[in-house]
Chains A and B, each alone.
Chain A
Amino acid sequence: MSSNKESFNQISPSEFFYRNRDLAGFSNPTRSLYTAVREFVENALDACDQAGILPDVYLSIKAVDDEQADPKPYILTVKDNGPGIDSKHIPLAFGTVLYGSKFGLKQARGMFGLGATMAILYGQITTNKPVEVKSSTDGQSQDEYELLLDIQKNKPIIVKHKTKEVSKRGLSVSIYLEGDYSKAGAKIRDYVYQTSLITPYATITFEDPKGEKFHQTKIVKTMPLPPTIIRPHPHGIDVETIRRMMVDSHFQIPTVDNKMIEKVRKELGLKKKNLNYSEIMEKASKRWNGISRHVRVVIAVMSFLKMDFEKLSKIRIDDMDIANKKLVYWDFGESKSVSIDLDPESEYYRQLTNTIQGETLLSFLTKRFQRIGQATAVKFTEFANLKPEKRIGTMTNQELVKLSDSLQKFEDFLSPDPSCLAPLGEEPLKKGMEQFFKPDFLEVVQRGASAYSGFPFIVEMGIAYGGEIKSVGQTVYRFANRIPLLYDEGSDVVLKVVNEIDWTRYKVKNDAPLVIVSHICSTRIPYKTVGKENVADRPEIERELRLALQFLARKLATFMSKRGQAEMEKKRANLYSKYIPLVAQFCTELAGKKKEPDYKKMLKMEAMVEE
């Protein structure tokens, strides 16, 4: 009927991102400039973190033509002292989309390294200039590339490549892009400032288009421990995840091909001998303890098939249906499918079911999860009312749901192993805040690891009061995986927790000069929006944030009341040393005495007197 023909073409990832660049934060010149800065700075910091190098990051934004009005082309350069990138990887890393080294499962600032290529892509679209990459991995020779992206083919085009001698290791990326610094400037400066705060082990320099320089030398010289990759924690598991984990752990019935038969022969010591079926079985039962698991399974299958090696090589096992106790095979000689019954009384039956039904629940729990040992696993099965020896392969859907629910409810699991996380640590956070705010009071806390939906997270928080903080009321700095969250704070869980606290209970006035720094580390931060500026209020995260803040607020309350007392004592002392001499003077005259009474001793005791 219709002559309308839609054509379905596969598009390249570059093409896809080009068409959907709003999603990645490149919607307009203001936002694009800011996003590009973030992507390159975060990549530089991540690279240094992973290599265990104290980062020294230099960021510069220069207008191509100062006189021109915004929006206009800028040159954005980010230089680091990281490990650099091998020359052969550079064209692919910077000239294709979806090429990256961040596909692992551990905490990192960015994900997959998509953003940097997006920035390059955006720069190329708006200015038609190549990206300039300079990399040295050894601190001696440096590869310098000028690259363009072939958007349709998702392939790099090398415009220039040369090698040069240098004295420093590291990576430098320069792009031309259209931006609006007059609008994005404040946001970028905030970003650099806050990044320095949460990365006190880094030296960060920023030169802006007006030639103004921000420079923060590293405050601490120790890096946070690098994260490692770990098994999932039981609290963050759902049915689907368990199902996937079971597929992984499933022990397959080995393919009974010639190669397998050779192996069985070898293990039974029958390499050259041809025995009949019952002779083979006899031999097998004698040698049972010395043979491998795979071979045992094959023997068990043979016991039901009642076949020798000759016969066995002419069939293909199609299905083993434990529930209905049937085994189905294809007989090549007869060219037909045969079904036989499995005798549950046979001693080989168990061997077979064990294999097919997978490992026991107990072993599944202890081997596949972190934080579950033998004792915990037994306790858990009692709690869940599941048999510890139950084969996970035989579990019904209902039982799986029960297992999943129980895993989340059982409270005796230790907190998730935080080794996959890289919190900043209390000491560096404290030193950073001290240097930045120079407060009268400072306290930081790192909560124990917790988990939401299977993802471990750690909350770190610091509170600073008074001193050089001149703000009226609280200023909250929010960080997630060491990235500052600058906007959309209205709906953020951290702000929610801060706003809900009743400060008067902690002797803090609502307009008190207060800074709160909140850092959430997780293998996955639950952002509310694509913009990645606000964290969703997951109850587990909200709880940890609240406990952290309450802990700090109590410390602050102690400080405030001590300070209040000290101030009161001081005020008291001042008042008494002002008025008592006057009282003495007047009463001396009134009494008609010459000498004043000895009131000095009173001035000393005032501070001790109760109100």
Chain B
Amino acid sequence: MKNKSKKTSKTSEERRESLSRLLQEQGLKIYSELDRGEFPKFSVPSRSVSNIVYDKKLRQYILGNTASIRSTRNMSQLRSFTQLIWLAFFANKLVQEKKSSTLRDIYYSSQAFSIDFEDQPESDNIIVDLEAVLARPREDLHIFPEERSSVFGDLTIEYTVPGYEGKRTNLSDHPDGYLIGPSLSSAELVDTSAELVIAIEKGGLFTRFVEEKVDKKFKAIIVDTAGQAPRSTRYLLKRLHNEMGLPVVILTDGDVYGEHIAMVIKSGSANAAHLRELTVPDAKWLGVWATDIEKYKLPTIPMTESDIKRIYDLQKDPRYQEGIWKKELEVFLKIKRKAELEAFSKYGLTNITDKYLPEKLEIAKSL
């Protein structure tokens, strides 16, 4: 497996440059508006529920055409406008200087510029606004959330972060895996021998998979999503799929939340409907399915009321109207019981890797 073709996505460097151009364009627009004595404004796509629609072609949630104008003409918007342009300014510096920051950093950094964010939720919200204006995820802007997931397997990357430029690393060098952080997110993907990406919901199972050499046995790159996959993880999954041409399969707990974790990797979340580069529409959910619970006679625990309510909610979602997505929800609702990935340990610690995984991978081929 050589350097796979980059047919659908740009390299990190290209992305960085296009982002810089985008930011500069916004800066120039506002500059000239001010210079002409006009009130500068941004057009911010509306993220209200009524403007979030499901796009069947893209197989993800996207924002509709409604946009609101945030203008300095309106006194009540003046502050948030200033916050928005400050963030663009600040992100531009991060991108130029190849530095990363966290959501919390942003909140504190703002105080040096007398941009009065009242609390972190307010600054987080402005970050989402900027994502929507630029249609770029915050990770592109070098802004990362605190929680991070890990990756392990034969993948060679080349860093672009300052001080490490050109340095290469293979992600199978460290048995605990590599944090999917800013430097990994901005690295170029160089080479891999893997033929598959397995995303797994739980850190415990991730470690088991490494120990059991699943990477070797199945020629796989293993990704720990640590619950609901963070943006940077979904972004990496997408790149592995698009840039390296690897299929993505997902293993979750056998409950409604697990099913949805898989769905979000596949087709995104309503929260990120303004972003289009975080989905892997071809990703496949391996299990644990509701039907697997009976088939493998897994120990179960009863569902809570909120579990059941969640099933009813998801049944209204357009993405759950067909295939296994629909069927498994129905079975979950019928049996009203759930099983965790660890449940396979009842049949021995390696049961999941020795028996379950190969069987499911076989089934997945026909999905």
Binding site for B on A (CB under 8 A): 571-572, 575-576, 578-580, 582-584, 586-593, 597-599, 601-602, 605, 609, 611
Contact = CB atoms under 8 A, between A and B. Distances in A.
A591 B31 contact: yes
B82 A582 contact: yes
A587 B78 contact: no
Contacts of B121: none
Interface string B91-106: 0110000000000000
B92 A583 contact: no
B34 A586 contact: no
8 contacts: A582-B114, A583-B82, A584-B34, A586-B82, A586-B88, A587-B85, A588-B27, A602-B34
A590 B81 contact: no
Contacts of A597: 31-32, 34-35
Nearest to B32: A597
Contacts of B114: 578, 582
Considering residues A571, A582, A587, A597, which has the most beta carbons from chain B within 10 angstroms of its beta carbon?
A587
A601 B40 CA distance: 14
Contacts of B81: 579, 583
Contact of B75 (A586, A587, A588, A611): A611
A583 B34 contact: yes
B120 interface: no
Contacts of A602: 34, 37, 39
B89 A586 contact: yes
Nearest to A572: B75
Interface string B30-72: 1110110101100000000000000000000000000000001
Interface of B: 23-24, 26-28, 30-32, 34-35, 37, 39-40, 72-75, 78-79, 81-82, 85-86, 88-89, 92-93, 113-115
Contacts of B88: 586, 590
A516 B224 CA distance: 73
A592 B74 CA distance: 27
A598 B35 contact: yes
Contact of A579 (B26, B30, B31, B82): B82
A590 B24 contact: yes
A587 B73 CA distance: 17
Contacts of B35: 597-599
A469 B44 CA distance: 47
Given A589-B27, A590-B27, A611-B75, A601 B37 contact: yes
Contacts of A588: 27, 31
A579 B86 CA distance: 11
**Interface SS of B by simple majority:** helix
A580 B72 contact: yes
Contacts of B30: 583, 587, 590-591
Contacts of B78: 575-576, 579
Contacts of A599: 34-35
A590 B92 CA distance: 7
A588 to B, nearest CB: 6
Nearest to B86: A586
Given A578-B114, A587-B28, A587-B34, 16 more contacts: A575-B75, A575-B78, A575-B79, A576-B78, A583-B30, A583-B82, A583-B85, A586-B89, A587-B27, A587-B85, A590-B27, A590-B30, A598-B37, A602-B34, A602-B39, A609-B73
B72 A587 contact: no
B113 A591 contact: no
Contact of B24 (A582, A591, A611): A591
Nearest to B74: A611
A596 to B, nearest CB: 8
Nearest to B81: A583
A163 to B, nearest CB: 80
A437 to B, nearest CB: 34
A597 B24 CA distance: 15
Contacts of A592: 24, 27
A599 to B, nearest CB: 5
A591 B89 contact: no
Contacts of A575: 75, 78-79
A290 B85 CA distance: 109
B85 A590 contact: yes
A599 B39 CA distance: 10
A206 to B, nearest CB: 53
Contact of B89 (A576, A589, A601, A611): A589
B233 to A, nearest CB: 30
A583 B79 contact: no
Contacts of A579: 72, 78-79, 81-82
Nearest to A605: B37
Nearest to A580: B72
B152 to A, nearest CB: 39
A591 B28 contact: yes
A599 B30 CA distance: 11
Contacts of A580: 34, 72
Given A579-B78, A582-B114, A609-B73, A587 B31 contact: yes
A611 B115 CA distance: 23
B61 to A, nearest CB: 30
A461 B37 CA distance: 51
B31 A582 contact: no
A591 B26 CA distance: 7
Contacts of B27: 586-592
Given A582-B113, A583-B30, A584-B34, A590 B23 contact: yes
B17 to A, nearest CB: 14
A171 B34 CA distance: 79
A599 B82 CA distance: 14
Give the interface centre of A588, A597, A605, A611 by most chain B CB atoms within 10 Å.
Answer: A597
A587 B40 contact: yes
B3 to A, nearest CB: 34
Nearest to A593: B31
Nearest to A584: B34
A78 B20 CA distance: 89
A470 B247 CA distance: 74
Contacts of B32: 597
A585 to B, nearest CB: 8
B123 to A, nearest CB: 15
A601 B38 CA distance: 10
A583 B34 CA distance: 9
Nearest to A568: B75
Contacts of B34: 580, 583-584, 587, 597-599, 602
Nearest to A599: B34
A564 to B, nearest CB: 14
Nearest to B115: A582
Nearest to B89: A586
A29 B215 CA distance: 102
A584 B113 CA distance: 13
Contact of A583 (B23, B40, B74): B40
Contacts of A589: 27, 89, 92-93
A589 B26 CA distance: 11
A578 to B, nearest CB: 8
B212 to A, nearest CB: 50
Contacts of B82: 579, 582-583, 586
B72 A583 contact: yes
B229 to A, nearest CB: 32
A578 B75 CA distance: 12
Contact of B26 (A576, A590, A593, A598): A590
A586 B85 contact: yes
What 7 pairs across the A-B complex have the smallest Cβ distances? A590-B27, A591-B27, A586-B89, A597-B35, A597-B34, A587-B30, A591-B28
Contacts of A609: 73
Chain B CB within 10 Å, residue with most, of A572, A579, A588: A579
